[in-house]
Amino acid sequence: MRVLLVVKSKFMESLGVMYLSAVVKKSGNECRIISLSEAYKTCSDTSWSPDVIGFSIMTGDLDKFKDLHNELTHLKYLYEFRDPPKFIVGGPDPSFFPDGYSWTDEIVRGEGENWINQFLTKNNVATYNNIDDIPWPSRDDFPNMKVRDFITSRGCPYNTCHYCYNEKWMKLFPEYEKVRIRDSKDVVAEIKFVHPEYVYFQDSVFGINMDWMKEFAEEYPQIPYQCHLRPEMVTEERVKLLKKSNCVAVRMALESASDRLREMVGRKMSLNTVCAAAELLKKEGIQIMLQNILSLPESTIEDDLETLEFNIKCKPDYSWSSIYVPYPGTKLGDWCKEKGYYKGNYENITDSFFDKSVLEFSEKHKEQVYCLQKIFAFCVEMKMMPDLKDLTVENLPKLIHKVMRKVGDNRLYAGLL
């Protein structure tokens, strides 16, 4: 059989569908991964007609894939001269909200490796019960990538962030252990086989187990890499192991400098913990991306400026900021709906967290936060607090020009893409 897997974009590797592609190929079938923009042209080419078309869908992207499905069902050759292809949807959105997918043939909820293998082989026995049994992701459809993505574990040990789906995931799929960690030797063997220029570990939290981390640091082939850490995890011992294995950058989430707002989102660590973590990493020459969420429910523009001020104090190499989106099904998203902070529908959820806030703030507040997000990283780089009166869409081009002129180069992004 021929399986076509469609993702929103191929700007970076999509590990979920790459794992599925490897399983499809291992079962003796053909597989291709393409982007949403390539799908219609690819399916119009009769030289490679798919028997199965799978969509990997994030919340906010449903309409795009539904429109593509409607376009593809009007390709006459797919239906008039052969059996029509099966349409399958998977990914986070169908897993949590299957009711929106009555238009498709099959819905894959949760992890898809066993499902797709059973679907193709007609074998009801689960093949991939152990995380180390799953074949390495197929990278054939992502050639010439300087940055290669890997994952050493599935799950998150914290499971307390109220803006995240992890808590609901564990309730929906109790058959999965909270955290499953790959054998360090298998991880290292995969990386040596791929031999990338740069490695990005996509784990929710990297190197959870210290014994694993010690083994990894001994075996890893010294290819520069970046990973995600919680500030609470950053100890001197762990940082030395990161340095030994050639970690060059770490992403850590602050979210907000407001104690009240961090409590709301379930990030209860102190600001001192964040500062201490940053100091330990900087001491070993490891770059830091500090991640922040603006426009949280019940926040003020002063709260977000306080977050900016703390970033300036903390001196990360790059300050990343997004605008809060009340994703349905998350604890905080459902709370926003219940309290009236979000009055839109599920269908109104955006596929971007850089647009104006969808919460019930004043238009002035939304505009100020939107402008602050656009200049946040530059302000941290230049240790510059903007004047509130300048945070308007009308003034935004001048404001961006002002901070860009002060920055004067591309140091903000070096090594942190």
In this structure, what CATH number is given to the domain that contains residue 94?
3.40.50.280
Q: Is residue 376 part of a domain?
A: yes
User: pTM of this prediction?
Assistant: 0.93
Instruction: Kindly state whether residues 204 and 314 are assigned to the same domain.
Output: yes
Do 190 and 107 sit in the same domain of this protein? no
Assigned token pair, 31: 């597989």
Give the confidence band of 340 by pLDDT, cuts at 50, 70, 90: very high
CA distance 227 to 206: 6
pLDDT band at 177 (very low <50, low <70, confident <90, very high): confident
- Give the CA count within 13 Å in the CB-facing half-sphere of 267: 25
Q: State whether 96 and 181 are in the same domain.
A: no
Judgement on whether residues 63 and 151 belong to the same structural domain of the protein? no
SS3 269: coil
pLDDT confidence bin for 259, thresholds 50/70/90:
very high
Question: Are 245 and 219 in the same domain?
Answer: yes
Domain contains 139: no
Structural domain including 53 reads 2-133
The model's pLDDT over 67-99, given as tens digits with 9 standing for 90+, comes to: 999 999 888 766 666 788 999 999 999 999 999
Looking at residue 156, its amino acid is: C
pLDDT digit string, tens, across residues 218-242: 999 999 999 999 999 999 999 999 9
Per-residue pLDDT, 415: 37
- Termini Cα distance of the chain: 37
Instruction: Tell me, yes or no, whether 268 and 304 share the same domain.
Output: yes
Q: What per-residue confidence (pLDDT) applies to 398?
A: 81
Report the pLDDT value the prediction gives residue 386, as an integer from 0 to 100: 92
Indicate the number of domains in the chain. 2
Predicted pLDDT at 413: 40
- Among candidates 315, 294, 321, 322, which has minimal Cα distance to 380? 315
Residue 389 has pLDDT above 60, yes or no: yes
Q: Do 168 and 289 share a domain, yes or no?
A: yes
pLDDT at residue 54, as a whole number: 98
Residue 80 pLDDT: 67
Give the integer Cα–Cα distance in Å for 326 and 121: 39
| pLDDT band, residue 347 (cuts 50/70/90) | confident
Q: Which residues contact 203 (CB under 8 A, 6 or more apart)?
A: 151, 152, 153, 227, 228
Is residue 68 included in any domain, yes or no?
yes
Evaluate if residue 324 carries a pLDDT over 70.
Answer: yes
417 pLDDT band, cuts 50/70/90, is very low
Helices (H), 195-300: 210-219, 236-244, 259-265, 271-283
Can you give the pLDDT at residue 77? Answer: 66
Give the C-alpha separation, 204 to 206, whole Å: 7
pLDDT surpassing 90 at residue 159: no
206 shares its domain with 92: no
Considering 92, 108, 133, which residue would you say is the last residue of a domain?
Answer: 133
Average pLDDT, stretch 123-149? 95
Instruction: Quote the DSSP letter at residue 347.
Output: G
Q: Which of 354-363, 383-392, 395-404 has the lowest mean pLDDT?
A: 395-404
Whether residue 140 lies inside any domain: the answer is no
141 occurs within a structural domain:
no
- Does residue 351 have a pLDDT over 50? yes
Query: Tokens in use for 264?
Result: 């709301």
Both 315 and 214 in a single domain? yes
Are 226 and 343 contained in the same domain?
A: yes
What confidence tier does 411 reach under pLDDT thresholds 50, 70, 90?
very low
Look up tokens 């999965």; give the residue: 176
Sign of CA dihedral 288, 294, 296, 299: positive
Query: What's the number of CA atoms in the CB half-sphere (13 Å) around residue 313?
Result: 13
Choose the final residue of a domain: 99, 133, 167.
Answer: 133
pLDDT at 251 over 90: yes
List the CATH number of the domain containing 273: 3.20.20.70
Would you say residue 49 lies in a domain?
A: yes
Please check whether residues 207 and 342 belong to one and the same domain.
Answer: yes
Predicted local distance difference test score (pLDDT) of residue 84: 86
79 and 157 assigned to the same domain: no
Residue 379 DSSP SS3: helix
- Average pLDDT over the chain reads 93
Residue 43 lies in a domain: yes
Q: What pLDDT, on a 0 to 100 scale, did the predictor assign at position 78?
A: 66
For residues 294-311, give the mean pLDDT: 98
Domain C-terminal end among 101, 133, 165: 133
Which residues are within 8 A (CB) of 189 and not within 5 positions of it... i.e. 6 or more apart? none
pLDDT score recorded for residue 409: 47
pLDDT tens per residue, range 28-56:
999 999 999 999 998 888 888 899 999 99
Q: Is the pLDDT of residue 65 over 50?
A: yes
Question: Does residue 262 form part of some domain?
Answer: yes
- Comparing 347 with 200, the larger pLDDT belongs to 200
